[in-house]
Amino acid sequence: MGALIGSQVSPRTVTKSVTKIETKTLLSTITKTISKETTIFATKTTTLTLTKTLTLTLTKKITFTKTVPPWNYVGTIIYANEPFILNPGEHRVDVVHIQEYYGVNIQVNASSDVSIYVFNITNYALWLHRENVSAVYAKTSREINVTFTVPSSGYYVIVLENTGEQSIIVMHYKVVILGRIVKGL
């Protein structure tokens, strides 16, 4: 069996933050007029007008943060945006928690054929010992874009393996949890 690369453990929680910024400008003008008449030899009227303008800008920043257990998370959970190399016999392992009937989309693009397997935890352990086990999903190809549902809630192991005799470059690798696709019986 080859070396392990990639993440080995699912996060305990997933945190998502959304920040909303609101800006409000208040403009107020106050005008006051004072007239004064003075009579000494002639009538003189003096008018004084005072105008005061106040501008007030209020900025409110609100950040909503939601932390959920990873098994309640829907969205992209694995995204390798940098190419990586799998040498002959080497495999990458990612462990994710998926709810029953949740859809999973896996996308892989490699320089040559790469094998992908999705196992439950028990079957993964048996696969490591070269036992003949069934996978939830298995395929070997240069380009993989598949969506499937898992039969029950639990931890699943996604394995990318180079079974060839030459190193391969994995240029794109993405796993997205889509949410509930099929209603339970």
Residue spans of the domains in the chain: they are 4-13+70-180, 21-61
The bridge status of strand 154-161 relative to strand 168-180 is: unpaired
pLDDT at residue 43, rounded to an integer: 67
pLDDT digits (tens, 9 = 90+) for 68-91: 555 455 566 677 778 889 999 898
pLDDT at residue 7, rounded to an integer: 42
pTM above 0.75, yes or no: no
DSSP helix, strand, coil percent of the chain (3-state; round to 5):
5, 65, 25
Average pLDDT over residues 168-180: 87
pLDDT at residue 53, rounded to an integer: 74
pLDDT band at 139 (very low <50, low <70, confident <90, very high): very high
pLDDT digits (tens, 9 = 90+) for 38-79: 666 666 777 777 777 777 777 777 766 655 555 455 566 677
Average pLDDT over residues 83-104: 87
pLDDT at 129 over 80: yes
65-79, 97-111, 171-185: the lowest-pLDDT one:
65-79
pLDDT at residue 14, rounded to an integer: 53
pLDDT at 185 over 60: no
CB atoms inside a 10 Å sphere around CB 126: 13
pLDDT at residue 64, rounded to an integer: 63
**What CATH number should be reported for the domain whose range is 4-13+70-180?**
2.60.120.380
pLDDT at residue 95, rounded to an integer: 86
Q: CA dist 21 to 56, 58, 62, Å?
A: 17, 11, 6
